Amino acid sequence: MAAIDPCSEVYPGLNADFQSTQSKTVALTFDDAPDPQNTARTLDDLAAAGLKATFFVNTNNQMNVANDATAQALLKRIASEGHTIGSHTVDHIALDDLSTTRIEYELGGLETTLASLGIATPKLFRPPHGTPFIRADADTPRVASVVRRHAVTVLWTFGGNPTLDWDCDANVQCVLNSYLSWFQSGTSGIPLMHAVKAGTAGALPQLLAAGKAAGVNFVSVDNFVQERYGMSPAAVVSHINSTCPDAGWAAASASSAAASSGNSGPGRRGGPGDPSNPGGPGGAGPGGPGPRGGGGPVLLELTDA
Ligand SMILES: [Zn+2]
């Protein structure tokens, strides 16, 4: 299959419909780290299994990384143990609620904090709540024009059925009920899990063993990006910035963002899994993210991602 030119798309990404041509090939992904209890357990599980994963991290979600030595040590550990660090934004706010300036901060601010820890700029990105990528809307081109300058967007091709690990909290059996048969099947894809839940950390040894028993080849997300675009995530981003038509517009947007990123308030902390607020962030973020359109079909974007 011929590789796709990243300029031909609104954004380069692995969407929910991505299907690898490689059989029994899985890229593990864990979101929302660091967390004081369960990120280390998740890392322990992966080390015990001898597997690498991609962690889509925040710098001000479960922990405020800039002010927390424990959080900093956890991020350094993720990197030092050979996992890939992707961006999940600073504050874990749905990007379509935010101004273009604030979106630039949500990516650039995370990059700055990671750089202060000696961690390279992520070239993979997972949008909080999946929006506005998992279901495109009028905001998608605007959000994507900023995001694609930074990283390749990575959604997920399996997120639990019927219950996401996020919603299982500490219930190991709940996670197994949702994920085990998928790992046993040896199906290729990108499972969505979280590095901040005791249920996930508790279920992971069994899930990974099941995948191994099924003959799964565990790879990095980079492997799938390479398959789709014929180049690494870093090369895709470089290509976007140097070659694609609106690169000039996006660069101008970035420079204006740098001048006004002081509007970054405390943002929203904690997980978005509150069932009483399924529509997403409840307006705590600067720039006034208003109520989001909940009430639709129960898609994964309405729970955490
Ligand atoms: Zn998330």
Nearest to 220 by CA among 54, 71, 74, 104: 54
Q: How far apart are CA 53 and CA 33, in angstroms?
A: 13
Q: How far apart are CA 47 and CA 231, in angstroms?
A: 28
Q: Which pLDDT value is given to residue 305?
A: 63
Q: Which pLDDT value is given to residue 263?
A: 38
Give the dihedral of Cα atoms 149, 126, 31, 49; nearest 10 deg: -90
Q: Which pLDDT value is given to residue 284?
A: 34
Q: Cα of 94 to ligand 1 centre, how many Å? A: 10
Q: Whole-model pTM?
A: 0.83
Per-residue burial over 68-94, b if 16 or more Cβ lie within 10 Å, else e, is: beebbebbebbbeeebbbbbbbbbbbb
Q: Which pLDDT value is given to residue 97?
A: 86
Helix boundaries (H) for the chain: 38-49, 69-80, 100-116, 140-150, 165-168, 172-185, 198-213, 221-229, 233-243, 247-259
Residue that has been written with the tokens 């992707």 in this structure: 86
pLDDT along the chain (305 residues), means of 10: 88 96 98 96 98 98 97 98 98 95 98 98 97 94 96 95 94 97 97 98 98 98 98 97 71 48 38 34 35 34 51
SS3 125: strand
54: tokens are 């991609």
Q: Cα of 179 to ligand 1 centre, how many Å? A: 18
Q: Cα of 102 to ligand 1 centre, how many Å? A: 18
Q: Cα of 32 to ligand 1 centre, how many Å? A: 5
Q: Which pLDDT value is given to residue 221?
A: 98
Q: Cα of 196 to ligand 1 centre, how many Å? A: 10
Q: How far apart are CA 12 and CA 141, in angstroms?
A: 12
Q: Cα of 56 to ligand 1 centre, how many Å? A: 8
